């Protein structure tokens, strides 16, 4: 078992990673002093695939368990679902000592963390992430929350988990497109911090997740370690944590412009990373050879959904509404080499516009491909 420490002041915790860790999770919780009854929060699809294994081993270890199941999907990441979780906890007579166990991807993880942050003014929770994105990103760092009708992730709280238990084996049931979505985020860590990780993913992604468990575990470990390091040094979204937003300024705009239904978050970040590399090159901050390498590696993971039907305005509009936009200048995270990024506070709107316009010109309709 590999362990990554997240040494935050006041709420330090460990991330554990091992193939088959799900069955050992109850022992770890017991050793950490978890109460004898825990509540697992998940969705019907994940429960069907992995719920029985977790519940069986929890009960075998002596835990009393209850399950709260939230309907599947991002559309249920709402305040209503939080109210349902809290109401169910009251019905179960869950006390302040109760621990919640999130078994799921980012949607379940974010909601379980938020419910734990506010139930009886705060109870403990544990993350058992079941998607690649959750294992390398959302389960780590304590950002929890839900979407509002007017926008994504607009209500929430910082609430760190007691531990994060990563079992790469859980990814064997993940649909390929969801797995690739996580790989785009994995590539992001390579570009912002670690050229070796970038090369590792570039070389091996096609054989994952099934055919090379050692490499998969190594990639997850390296990514989780970078996320843990960044959030440790910058727990509450100061300057350093912004580097994790690489590819996300453009990515979020593309997701909003396509109403969150046309592409996955990872695919949007894939486009976003290419756009950021193009912009960086345009500003003379990145060599053309590195730009080309970023583009070809991102595209090799999976073909990105074409943007041929989008207009410049429809993409720029959400970008101007973005939290990172101020006046006529944008804050962007731009690569200066593979393994290195810079936060640029005053990227001009015209440079952003030109970059998006040129990228849209290159897009071909899928029928003509
Ligand atoms: N808190 C953070 O720091 C942070 C960071 C990034 C993203 N997020 C949030 O994470 C969410 C996206 O998370 P996600 O990409 O994990 O998506 P997700 O949670 O929606 O899961 C994707 C799909 O895969 C299914 N699934 C999950 N595990 C599975 C498995 N092992 N086998 C088969 N199917 C499985 C889910 O039921 C779902 O349909 C977004 O809401 C985003 O805002 C949060
Ligand atoms: Zn992301």
Rounded mean pLDDT of 183-209? Answer: 95
CA of 80 to the centre of ligand 2 (A): 24
Tell whether ligand 1 has an atom less than 6 A from the beta carbon of residue 130.
Answer: yes
Report the C-alpha gap between 124 and 117 in whole angstroms.
8
pLDDT tens profile 207-244: 888 879 999 999 999 999 999 999 999 877 678 889 99
Residues 6+ apart with CB under 8 A from 200: 190, 215, 218, 219, 222
Taking the centre of ligand 2 as the mean of its atom positions, its distance from the CA of residue 142, in whole angstroms, is 15
Report pLDDT for 326.
59
The three state secondary structure string of 293-309 is HHHHHHHHHCCCCCCCC
Q: Tokens 């980012």 label which residue?
A: 106
**pLDDT given at position 322:** 63
Residue 298: HSE in the Cβ half-sphere, 13 Å Cα cutoff:
28
Atom 2 of ligand 1, nearest CA residue:
138
Judge if the beta carbon of residue 153 lies within 6 A of ligand 1: yes
Residue 368: per-residue pLDDT: 64
- Ligand 1 atom with the smallest distance to the CA of 153 is 43
Both structure tokens of 117 = 């942050």
What are 90-93's contacts with CB under 8 Å, separation 24+?
A: 92/39, 92/66
Atom of ligand 1 nearest to the CA of 74: 20
Of 117, 124, 107, the residue nearest 39 (C-alpha):
124
Asked if the model's pLDDT at residue 323 lies above 60, the reply is no
How much is the pLDDT for 235? Answer: 76
Q: How many Å lie between the centroid of ligand 2 and the Cα of residue 61?
A: 36
Tens of pLDDT, residue by residue over 246-276, are 999 999 999 999 988 899 999 999 999 999 9
The pLDDT-based confidence of 198 (bands split at 50, 70, 90) is very high
pLDDT at 98: 97
Residue bearing tokens 């005053």? 346
Task: Evaluate if residue 302 carries a pLDDT over 70.
Answer: yes
User: Residue 15: enclosing H or E segment and its boundaries?
Assistant: strand 13-17
Interval between CA 106 and ligand 1 midpoint (Å): 4
Q: What pLDDT band is residue 325 in, cutting at 50, 70 and 90?
A: low
According to the model, what pLDDT value does residue 211 have? 79
Q: Is residue 16 within 8 Å of residue 1, measured between CB atoms?
A: yes
Whole-number pLDDT of residue 327:
65
Ligand 1 in contact with 139 (CB < 6 A)? Answer: no
DSSP string, 126-159: EEEE-SHHIIIIITSS-EEEEEETTEEEEEEEE-
For 322, other C-beta atoms within 10 Å of its C-beta total 16
Sheet containing strand 329-337, strands side by side? 325-326, 329-337, 340-348
Ligand nearest to the CA of 45: 1
Our answer on whether the CB atom of 254 is closer than 6 Å to any ligand 1 atom is: no
Task: Supply the residues annotated as catalytic.
Answer: 121, 143, 185, 227, 237, 241, 245, 248, 252, 265
Which residue's CA lies nearest to atom 36 of ligand 1?
Answer: 105
Ligand 1 geometric centre to CA of 283 (Å): 35
Residue whose CA lies nearest to ligand 1 atom number 3: 138
Residue 182: the pLDDT is 97
Beta-bridge mates of residue 344: 332
What does the pLDDT look like over 21-58, one tens digit per residue?
999 999 999 999 999 999 999 999 999 999 999 999 99
Q: Mean pLDDT in the chain? A: 94
How does pLDDT run across 126-145, given as a tens digit for each residue? 999 999 999 999 999 999 99
Q: Judge if the upstream peptide bond of residue 209 is cis by omega within 30 degrees of 0.
A: yes
Q: Which position has the token pair 């990373």?
A: 273
Test site for ligand 1: of 133, 155, 183, 241, most ligand atoms within 8 A of the Cβ: 133
DSSP 8-state assignment for residue 78: S
209-237 burial: b if 16+ Cβ within 10 Å, else e: beeebebbbbbbbbbbbbbbebbbebbee
């Amino acid at each position: 078992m590999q362990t990554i420490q997240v040494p935050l002041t006041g709420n330090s915790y460990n991330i554990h990673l091992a193939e088959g860790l799900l069955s050992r999770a109850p022992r770890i919780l017991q050793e950490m002093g978890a109460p004898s009854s825990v509540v697992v929060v998940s969705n019907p699809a994940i429960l069907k695939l992995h719920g029985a294994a977790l519940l069986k081993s929890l009960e075998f270890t002596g835990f009393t368990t209850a399950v709260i199941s939230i309907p599947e999907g991002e559309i249920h990441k709402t305040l209503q679902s939080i109210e349902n979780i809290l109401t169910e906890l009251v019905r179960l007579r869950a006390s302040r000592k109760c621990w919640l166990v999130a078994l799921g991807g980012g949607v379940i993880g974010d909601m379980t963390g938020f419910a734990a942050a506010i139930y009886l003014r705060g109870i403990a929770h544990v993350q058992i992430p079941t998607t690649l994105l959750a294992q390398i990103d959302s389960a780590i760092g304590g950002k929890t929350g839900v979407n509002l009708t007017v926008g994504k992730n607009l209500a929430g709280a910082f609430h760190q988990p007691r531990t994060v238990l990563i079992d790469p084996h859980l990814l064997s049931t993940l649909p390929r497109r969801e797995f690739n979505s996580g790989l785009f985020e994995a590539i992001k860590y390579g570009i912002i911090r670690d050229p070796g990780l970038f090369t590792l993913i570039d070389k091996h992604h096609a054989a994952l997740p099934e055919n090379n468990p050692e490499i998969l575990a190594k990639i997850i470990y390296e990514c989780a370690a970078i996320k843990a390091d960044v959030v440790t040094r910058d727990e509450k979204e100061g300057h350093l944590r912004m580097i994790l937003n690489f590819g996300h300024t453009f990515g979020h705009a593309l997701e909003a412009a396509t109403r969150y239904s046309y592409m996955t978050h990872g695919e949007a970040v894939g486009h976003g990373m290419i756009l950021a590399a193009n912009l960086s090159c345009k500003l003379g901050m990145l060599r053309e050879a590195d730009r080309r390498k970023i583009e070809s590696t991102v595209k090799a993971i999976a073909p990105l959904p074409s943007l041929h039907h989008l207009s410049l305005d429809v993409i720029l509009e959400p970008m101007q509404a973005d939290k990172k936009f101020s006046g006529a200048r944008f804050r962007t995270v731009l690569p200066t080499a593979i393994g290195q990024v810079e936060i640029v506070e005053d990227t001009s709107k015209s440079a952003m516009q030109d970059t998006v316009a040129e990228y849209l010109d290159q897009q071909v309709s899928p029928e003509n491909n």
